Every structure is written in C-alpha cells, then in structure tokens.
Amino acid sequence: MSIESILTILLIGGIAGWLAGLVMKGRGFGILGNIVVGIVGAFVGSYVLGLLGIAIGGGFIASVLNAFIGAVILLFLIGLIKRV
C-alpha cells in the first residue's frame, strides 16, 4: 500500500467521521476517533449498502458518502450500546 493510498484512506475517514459526528450531534470522538469511525464506517457502509443492493458509484465523493453512511450507522449503534 502506497503512502498516497494511506493518506486517501485517512482523508476519506476523517471527512466521513467528522460529518457523521456533526449529524449525530455530540456523538463524535475527537479527530482521531472520528477518523477511525469513518474508516470502520466505510466497511460498514459497503457491507450494508451491498446487502441492500445499492451502488453509489466510484470516485472520491462516492467513497466519502459511503463511509459517511456507514459512520452514521456505526455511531448510532455505539449510542445504543452506551445507553445500556
């Protein structure tokens, strides 16, 4: 994996995690936590959207949207677990 790939993953994860933290109002985890949530959210988003048969497309914006959807799902699930 090249340095450009790693930087792209971190950038997409950071953007998606930050946006998800804004949407979920107060459920963010700081900059590093949001990057992790965004990266894990990309996997969650790909899996969930794949199960539903939804294909967003390719490119940077589609990757951010996919990771954002997954990050929102992940933050929602974390919020449910924290309440219990």
Task: Give pTM, 2 decimals.
Answer: 0.85
Helix (H, G, I), strand (E, B) or coil at 30: helix
**pLDDT band for position 28 (50/70/90)?**
low
**pLDDT band for position 14 (50/70/90)?**
confident
**Number of Cβ within a 10 Å radius of residue 12:** 23
Alpha carbon separation from 83 to 27, 43, 50, 78, 79 (Å, rounded)? 12, 24, 29, 9, 6
Please report how many Cα atoms fall inside a 13 Å half-sphere around the Cα of residue 61, on the Cβ side: 1
pLDDT in tens, 34-51: 888 888 988 898 889 889
Residue in the block written with tokens 């930050």: 18
The predicted pLDDT at position 6 comes to 85
pLDDT in tens, 52-81: 999 888 888 998 999 999 999 998 888 888
The predicted pLDDT at position 27 comes to 66
As separate numbers, helices (DSSP H) first and strands (DSSP E) second, the chain gives 3, 0
DSSP E strands, the chain: none
Q: What is the DSSP letter of 2?
A: -
